[in-house]
Amino acid sequence: MNSPEKRAREDKRNQKARVKEQRRLDRRHNAPSQPEIVSAADINGNVPSIEEVMASLQGGARVERSAPPIPVKLFVGSLSDATTSASLRRHFEPHSDIAEAAVIMDRNTGSSRNFGFVTLADRKSAAAVISELHQSELDGSRIVVNIATERR
């Protein structure tokens, strides 16, 4: 390899490094630009909801979604020894549709383990039921109501 070619490559590499350093310095000294904030409506335009589309297909008639409600299981703790599954159900029924209510019993002694589960028919009502019934009184005890989680 001859030396003029090598010098040309080195000069080219050095020139690229100088240009890169100059761009870095320019970015550092220039104030960052503010991002433009746009909404989804600005990007997509006026997109009708699924209800509006279904109504237009049905000739303007109101269409209800046909998806079935999704149940949710609530943990109910700090139950009294006197609490039964039936009384637990009665306590929750005025607030939501109940699919199932069960007080957990000890297998060996047959006595209450002082907690249970209530399955609501529709998960949309869970937040309201929890806020209304958490720390409420049932059979002389203040109960704890939360969303049930999987056992680990």
Q: Quick one: pLDDT at residue 108? A: 94
CATH top-level class of 72-147: alpha beta
Q: Quick one: pLDDT at residue 65? A: 62
The list of the chain residues with pLDDT below 70 reads 1, 31-32, 60-65
C-alpha–C-alpha distance, residues 99 and 90, integer Å: 12
C-alpha–C-alpha distance, residues 35 and 8, integer Å: 42
Question: In the chain, which residues fall in CATH 3.30.70.330?
Answer: 72-147
Q: Quick one: pLDDT at residue 4? A: 85
Q: Quick one: pLDDT at residue 107? A: 94
